[in-house]
Structure 1
């Protein structure tokens, strides 16, 4: 596996000059042919890749935007460039920046909120003409800033433009979730089916409480993308959605007076009955015993 531990190493691999030790705009088209291999970065990367409408699928649908796709990588994420071992000509533009350049800034404190850095490549952002213009403009502003002599304003301006770019990407992802509403609805339905099957089978007893990561994996999505999709489609986080379904099943079980609340908790996959009681009271408004008494 290739480890790109510095901005300089990544830039030089693709035959680009290093204009700043902590951030650079890399023209991948300048590269010679490279062997496809696994690699990891010690920094963030935002890469625009050219696509043609209909050439690549997004899930079961063809891309409906043809002005390029944007993929996001966070530090230490392992990336597989398939098929491994094959020669290929890199293409596109990569904006790479080290965590040190945003450390201590508002962006540094909020970078975790941009969850798309944890998406898979298949969950890329696909741009319209106008969106591509905006992203290019942000790239150009950053390139201009890192191409000139560094002064006391450089870091603030670079970080401000980075933050602006990420805010636009958040907006464009919101648009993408909306334009793929039909495809997303299919994912929601499959999620509900998987969740119901999990709750009303023996899995709660054998596997314990279902996790967000479990359903994301079953649906072949990254946990971040899956969580964002559920939130945008239902208004609830994926964990809240799971808890609500679980508590609906709990209500039925609690009405069976032959079982204690602890037995119900264990049947629902809770290791500690007090955790179940706390969650039930928090979401339903009364304790399990009080709910049983009222009904």
Structure 2
């Protein structure tokens, strides 16, 4: 891990590959023009979209494998590490890369909502595999950005470039949404595993030492990034993963209350530190307090 390339700006990566500088805050790279090249393990301080036509990633989802292989898109955000450490090997790869520094977005609306694109925090095995049409759309947008970078700078250039970036990100979001839809069987498998995990969590009384299960915990146990896990559950059920956990807990609570346990006892059984927190969650989801629910049971 000693040979990590610090990509503090886009041209740190460009220089490593032997590319000419295009702009201090953004670069578009056609890997076919710089291959063969050496591997690099990169510590990013920039955003990056890496479209690899040669990536040999056998993605597994539940009981099946994903069958789109025109191109694989990997997305990174500042603070992430990705790639492969330089071992001296020369490799020939094809595809495109778009890197841009957060400073490029300063004073543009995209600066505030870029964090809404959750795919920047997906893991490699959660990468987007694209259809041919999807692949061609992203390549076209990268080519357009590159063409604009070759134009003489003016006071509209950054606005145009950022518009292209936002369009590319929106297409990526659409493509991921399509991927979730076309993988309904695999998503259902994830949901089944999620429910089993929650059931076993409470059966093993982990809530007594760890509290109520979190989305982070469930995602880790299911070997997914929290963002990808949350997006799968949202697309499959229409509810957030955190709400799915809450609904599961409320159903357990109803079982305990129906069996005659007090609100305080139920709260303790479910792993809440304070019974007020349990009562607040119950009322938020059911519209009545646990005590009011118990009174209804008596009628």
SS at match of 1:242: helix
Using the alignment, how far apart are the partners of 1:68 and 1:233 within structure 2?
Answer: 25
Which range is displaced more, 55-64 or 132-141?
55-64
* Contact 1:14–1:26 (CA under 8 A) maintained in structure 2: no
Q: Of the candidates 274, 277, 280, which is equivalent to residue 278 of structure 1? A: 280
Spell out the pairing of 1:10-159 with structure 2 (5 A cutoff): 10-29=13-32, 30-37=34-41, 39-51=42-54, 56-60=57-61, 61-79=64-82, 81=84, 85=87, 87-89=89-91, 91=93, 92-159=95-162
Q: How far apart are residue 79 of structure 1 and its match?
A: 2.1
Using the alignment, how far apart are the partners of 1:123 and 1:278 within structure 2?
Answer: 35
Using the alignment, how far apart are the partners of 1:182 and 1:255 within structure 2?
Answer: 35
Using the alignment, how far apart are the partners of 2:284 and 2:147 within structure 1?
Answer: 52
Unaligned runs of 5+ in 1: none
Unaligned runs of 5+ in 2: none
Corresponding position of 2:271: 269
Structure 1 residues 285 and 184 mapped into 2: Cα distance closer, same or farther (>3 Å)?
Answer: same
2:222 equivalent to 1:219? yes
| Coordinate RMSD, CA, aligned | 1.8
Deviations 1:52-109 (A, max 9, x none): 7xx5321254441221111100101122527x74635262321000011112211111
Paired residues, number: 290
Using the alignment, how far apart are the partners of 2:257 and 2:284 within structure 1?
Answer: 16
Q: How far apart are residue 36 of structure 1 and its match?
A: 4.9
* Contact 2:5–2:40 (CA under 8 A) maintained in structure 1: no
Spell out the pairing of 1:240-255 with structure 2 (5 A cutoff): 240-255=243-258
Corresponding position of 1:193: 196
Q: How far apart are residue 260 of structure 1 and its match?
A: 3.1
* Contact 1:36–1:86 (CA under 8 A) maintained in structure 2: no
Q: Of the candidates 181, 190, 208, which is equivalent to residue 205 of structure 1? A: 208
Deviations 1:134-182 (A, max 9, x none): 1111111111111122110011101111111111111111111111111
